[in-house]
A and B are shown apart, each in its own frame.
Chain A
Amino acid sequence: MLEALREAVGPTLFTYAVSPLFKILALIFLGVLPLIMYLVLAERKILGFMQVRLGPNRVGPWGILQPVADIAKLLVKEDVIPNKAVRWAFVLAPCLVVAPAFVILAVIPFGPSAEQSGGALDFFITDVNVGLLFVVAMATVGVYGIIIGGWASNSKFSLLGGLRSAAQMISYEIPQGFSLVIPLLMAGTMSLQGVVGAQFEQGRWFVFQFFPFGLIAFFIYFVAGVAESNRNPFDLPEAESELVAGFHTEYTGMRFALFFLGEYANMIVISALAVTLFLGGWLAPFPNVGWASFLDLQWIPFMTPGLAGLIWFSAKLFAFLFVYIWFRGTFPRYRFDQLMDLGWKWLIPLVLFTVFGVGIWKTLL
């Protein structure tokens, strides 16, 4: 079918328009949106289990239809825009949170390219040679949505939430940016597909490269990533117990759902980036250990190298998402000065030291 379509539209149009379009649709409607729906359910279930209760279990067996019920509820809820809100900004803000998170997914390699796997399709939408820069630029736009939403709501809780988000972004963008430099130094390329390729060639995931610098960089990236996606223990912009709901206090129905969607999409993006940059992306673990060769999954019927890559990527991604939820079930929220203290006094010196260390190692050895 793919071949027929290729002949019908011509190879150029197929490669640059039809195939990406289909992949985008598949990624969003078969990949990310269902994943987010069930991530919300998984979060409630896992949090429930950690608190020795059952979690949602009434809608469908084990509560598996809960996301459907949630969406139906959010769709039919009244859409309230406060009288004194700045209308256009109020409407714009949720879109500004969601869109960048989805845009970033375009450059993330979910599996090997066509040449690497010998299959027909690249398991990514596009491979930009400044992929990492693109990701950082887009991730920053998402925070504007939160700030604008907080300001446009014309409520003190929302404004405080938005401003907290701004301060948090400034503090944590720096260590995150620097920790992204480290895999860059190791791989020598900014293309995310290239980073995975470099990990394959060097035979080692970048967490373990230049030990312990890779590990430290990974740790800093993940801590800063949790802060960037406004999740516990850094959910100060939302801060339920202090700011009602922070920046989305005034939002209802589908607009609130968009903020929610943005938060979870951000979680997925940050986990996917962590997997790609530090944990070998779609590579199977232990490719060069003889007895572990079953890990390439080729013994499963109808398995292709491309699918196996996709499966490994998803497995690592899910592990990360679990850690996110685990954090939420464990840690209390930081006080604001503690947050600043951690960001400026610990993470930034540590990440500068790490960048310096990797640079010296790379130049001298």
Chain B
Amino acid sequence: MSAMRGLLDRFMLLDLFSGLGITFRHLFKKKETVQYPEERCEPAHRFRGMFRLDEERCIKCTLCARDCPIDIIYIDWHQEMNPVTEKKEKALDRFDIDVQRCMFCGLCEEACPTNPKSIWLTSKTYELASYDRWENLYVDIDELQDWKVRPAYTDDEVR
């Protein structure tokens, strides 16, 4: 039977015609192209993207800065009297990350002792390109806490 089929293939070029059929069917398929600037793919749920920081949760222990293998997290703090609890607490002066050299290893997130983490990378923001090295790639505490860099996804935007 298979010999018969092989012979038919040889003379009637069946395999060529089935190939033509496949490409013809694909002609009418829904196209997979994502028209990037107008539409975007939503990253996977645990996608490792840009940093985010929550100052409320942060205990200013600087473990993230110590664990950073290339020392790009800069933290300055001072003691301050909390007027409500009347206790001394640490207050942040500066929490900067020089993202230019960051490799997104996530060690800072692992080192963070708070639960939930105060610094995390699952922000789903990945559009980090910029024209100037210092323009967007050196983020201070305000930018780290601005979680609306990427607006929320609408249904028709996510394909």
* A residues apposed to B, CB below 8 Å: 46, 49-54, 326-327, 329-331
Q: Does B159 contact A (CB under 8 A)?
A: no
B23 and A329 form a contact (CB under 8 A): yes
- Which B residue sits closest to A58, measured CB to CB? B35
| Contact indicator B26/A50 (Cβ below 8 Å) | yes
Bound together, the chains give a CA A331 to CA B23 distance in angstroms of 10
The 4 A-B pairs at the shortest CB distance, nearest first, are namely A54-B33, A330-B23, A50-B23, A53-B33
Contacts of A49 in B (CB 8 A): 26-28, 31
The minimal Cβ–Cβ distance linking A70 to chain B, given in whole angstroms, is 20
A50 to B20 CA separation, bound complex (whole angstroms): 10
Closest CB in chain B relative to A220 CB, distance in Å:
13
Contacts of A326 in B (CB 8 A): 20, 23-24
B13 to chain A: closest residue by CB = A219
Q: Which of these, B27, B30, B32, B35, contacts A50 with CB under 8 Å?
A: B27
Number of B residues contacting the other chain (C-beta, 8 Å)?
A: 15
Q: Which of A52, A327, A330 has the most CB of B within 10 A?
A: A330
Provide the bound-state CA to CA distance between A330 and B16, in Å. Answer: 9
Give the interface of B toward A (CB within 8 A). Answer: 16, 19-20, 22-24, 26-33, 35
Contact A330–B19 (Cβ < 8 Å): yes
User: Quick one: closest B residue to A46, CB to CB?
Assistant: B27
Q: How far is the CA of A327 from the CA of B24 in the complex (A)?
A: 10
- What's the nearest-Cβ distance from chain B to residue A40, in Å? 18
Nearest-CB distance from B20 to chain A (Å)? 5
- A331 close to B19 (CB less than 8 A): yes
- Which one of B20, B29, B31 lies within 8 Å of A330 (CB-CB)? B20
Whether A331 contacts B31 in the complex (CB less than 8 A), given A50-B23, A52-B26, comes out as: no
Q: How far is the CB of B93 from chain A (nearest CB, A)?
A: 48
Q: Are A53 and B27 in contact (CB under 8 A)?
A: no
Q: Which residues of B contact A46 (CB under 8 A)?
A: 27
Would A51 and B16 count as touching, CB distance under 8 A?
no
B1 to chain A, nearest CB (A): 24
> Do the beta carbons of A51 and B26 come within 8 Å of each other?
yes
Inter-chain CA distance A40–B102, complex, in Å, is: 45
Give the chain A neighbours of B27 by CB distance below 8 A: 46, 49-50
- Using Cβ atoms and an 8 Å threshold, which residues of chain B touch A331? 16, 19
Residues of B within 8 Å of A329, CB to CB, are: 23
Q: Given the complex of chains A and B, what is the CA–CA distance between A331 and B24 in angstroms?
A: 12
A53 close to B32 (CB less than 8 A): yes
A-B contact pairs, 9 of them (CB 8 A): A49-B26, A49-B28, A50-B27, A52-B29, A54-B31, A54-B33, A330-B20, A330-B23, A331-B19
CB distance from A323 to the nearest CB of B (A): 9
Given contacts A50-B27, A327-B20, A330-B20, 14 further A-B contacts (CB under 8 A): A46-B27, A49-B26, A49-B31, A50-B26, A51-B26, A52-B26, A52-B31, A53-B31, A53-B33, A54-B31, A54-B33, A54-B35, A326-B24, A331-B19
Give the distance to chain A from B33, nearest Cβ to Cβ, in Å.
Answer: 4
CA distance A220 to B127 in the complex (A): 54
